[in-house]
Amino acid sequence: MALLRTTPVTAVGDLYALIRDKRAISRAEIGALTGMSRTAVAARVRELTARGLVVEQDQAPSSGGRPATLVSFNADAGIVLTAAIGGSRARLAVCDLAGDIRAAADIDEEPGFGPADLMPAVATRLGALLGESGHRGTRIFGIGVSLPGTVDAQRGSSLDSPVLTGWDGVPLGPFFAGLGGAPVVVGNDANAFALAEWRAGAGRGLDDVLVIKASTGLGAGIVAGGALQRGALGAAGEFGHDKTVAADGIPCRCGDVGCLEAVAGGWALVRALNDEGRTARSLRDVVDLAHSGDALARRLIRESGRHVGEVLAGAVNLLNPAALVVAGDVAGAYDIFVAGLRETLYGNATALATRTLQIVPSHHGDRAGVIGTAMMVLDDVLAPGIVGALV
């Protein structure tokens, strides 16, 4: 994101993007990086300071002479609200403009819930979190919602989600009308996980990262060449419905048969346990049973890893990622799951593609969804053109 001297910055929104990226920078450094004159830098910094988006504070260490004043990104200039909605739970958070969580809460969901059932509760709980975190009255820059499956970003709705029945085509923005009219940004959940892990987690500093989200359903966020890849229709990474021999003839909840999720998704593991007389409502329950020593739960999680590794081998060959990050509820049983995943991934991918591949757990754990959703909405509402229009 750093700007080169050969790419002059003239718009105030671009300058804000530079300060946001650096977090703190002197006016002289801004001029050196952008080629702007001292007068132009001062004028634009003044505009941003007047609106509280940046602050001038903390003098940089001096090497002799007058120390320079740092222009700092002001993460407290406002907040964003986030809702990471999954197949069995919605995770909610109030985040500052750096994406750091200031308050969080969960809403457990019943099977078959629809948007009219869940979204009013999400909006109400987010409103309560504003008060609990001391942010009532603070400017809300945006509201982010992440969903499993493909989304229609323009309409702000699910486009094709086998996980959320009855959500496709339903705009989610109107549910938040009581929270002040902030823009609502809707994105894919695995992409949100990928943003969190790539920018500030297990994949930080890498240009090629594959982040798999294994929870109720299966999905992947793909970072290739230093950019998040969404695909032509926003459906990149939906590997849960790839066909696999292990699921041959087994019905999937998407209506098809033979999908990977039918033998490796969290919902399939829950079904298998319940069929054997265990009590499990979600993959989190399966993980708890595995940690308590339940042999069947441990076997199912390991087999899930084996099935996932077999399908992902092709993706590793195609993308050659530097790291494969395991996220989602299955990360709670990371060692068990990855033992199976390594077995088939390394057995089916090429030796070259896996030679330096790192397989690592999510850095953010169960916070990855809301953190990545915050990053998603911040990229939108703090984009240079939006900030330029604001100022």
Tell me which residue of 158, 145, 160 sits closest to 377, measured CA to CA: 145
- Segments making up each domain of the chain, as ranges: 12-73, 78-192+369-381, 202-362
| CATH class for the region spanning 202-362 | alpha beta
Q: Is the per-residue pLDDT at 271 higher than 90?
A: yes
What are φ and ψ of residue 267, in 5° steps? -65, -35
What pLDDT was estimated at residue 67? 66
Q: Is the per-residue pLDDT at 375 higher than 50?
A: yes
pTM confidence score: 0.92
CATH architecture classification, 12-73:
Orthogonal Bundle (1.10)
What pLDDT was estimated at residue 161? 87
User: Average pLDDT of 131-147?
Assistant: 95
User: Average pLDDT of 63-86?
Assistant: 87
User: Average pLDDT of 203-219?
Assistant: 96
User: Average pLDDT of 327-331?
Assistant: 96
Do the domains at 12-73 and 202-362 have one common CATH topology?
no
Q: Is the per-residue pLDDT at 134 higher than 80?
A: yes
What pLDDT was estimated at residue 5? 38
Give the confidence band of 60 by pLDDT, cuts at 50, 70, 90: low
What pLDDT was estimated at residue 58? 63
User: Average pLDDT of 183-201?
Assistant: 97
Domain spanning 78-192+369-381: which superfamily? ATPase, nucleotide binding domain (3.30.420.40)
What pLDDT was estimated at residue 68? 73
Distance of CA 136 to the CA centre of its chain: 25
The predicted-structure confidence for 148-161, as pLDDT tens digits, reads as follows 999 999 999 999 98
What pLDDT was estimated at residue 63? 58
User: CB of 151 within 8 A of CB of 157?
Assistant: yes
